[in-house]
Amino acid sequence: MSKVSQMRGVDTSGLRFRLVDAQTEVLGRLAAQLSKILQGKDKPTFAPNVDNGDVVVVINVEKINLTGNKHTGKVYTWHTGYVGGLKTRTVKDQLERAPEEVLRKAVQRMLPDNKLRVAPVREVCLVFCLE
C-alpha cells in the first residue's frame, strides 16, 4: 500500500499529482493557477458541481515573491473571540513564522465559497526547505 493512499480525507483514485516550484513565482499568480488545478478547470471533464481536481505539491514555499510593498502593507486580521481580541500580522511576519500558511490562505480564498472548498484545500501539500 502506498503512502499516497494514506492522505486523510482525500480519495486518490483517478487523481494526478502535480509538482510546482514556487521559488520565482508571484504569490497571487501562483495561487490563481493552483486554484484552477484544484477545481479541475484544466480538465475536459470539468463540472462545477463535482470535485475532480488534482493534488498539488508545492516546493520552496518560503522563497515565494510578492510585488510592490505587500511585505509590510498586506495585513492578515483575525479575532480571538475575546473582548479586544483583534489581532493583526503582516505578511513579512507570517513568512518568518509559517511561510506555507501565506500560500495556503491565498489559494483557499481564491476557491469558491461553498461546500466544494473544503476538499481542495486538503489536496494542497506545501513543502519548504530548511536550508
All three cell numbers of 27 = 504569490
Provide the pLDDT for residue 30. Answer: 94
Is this prediction's pTM over 0.85?
A: no
Higher pLDDT, 101 or 11: 101
Provide the pLDDT for residue 11. Answer: 60
Distance, in Å, from the CA atom of 98 to the CA atom of 80, rounded to the nearest integer, reads 19
Name the average pLDDT for the chain.
83
Distance, in Å, from the CA atom of 131 to the CA atom of 128, rounded to the nearest integer, reads 9
Provide the pLDDT for residue 10. Answer: 58
Query: What is the percent of the chain where pLDDT is above 70?
Result: 82
Distance, in Å, from the CA atom of 30 to the CA atom of 13, rounded to the nearest integer, reads 26
Return the top range by mean pLDDT from 49-53, 54-58, 91-95, 116-120: 91-95
3-state secondary structure of 23: coil
Given a cut of 70, whether residue 43 has pLDDT beyond it is: yes
Given a cut of 90, whether residue 69 has pLDDT beyond it is: yes
Provide the pLDDT for residue 2. Answer: 35
Report which residue type is found at 31: A
Provide the pLDDT for residue 57. Answer: 86
Band of the pLDDT at 1, cuts 50, 70, 90?
Answer: very low
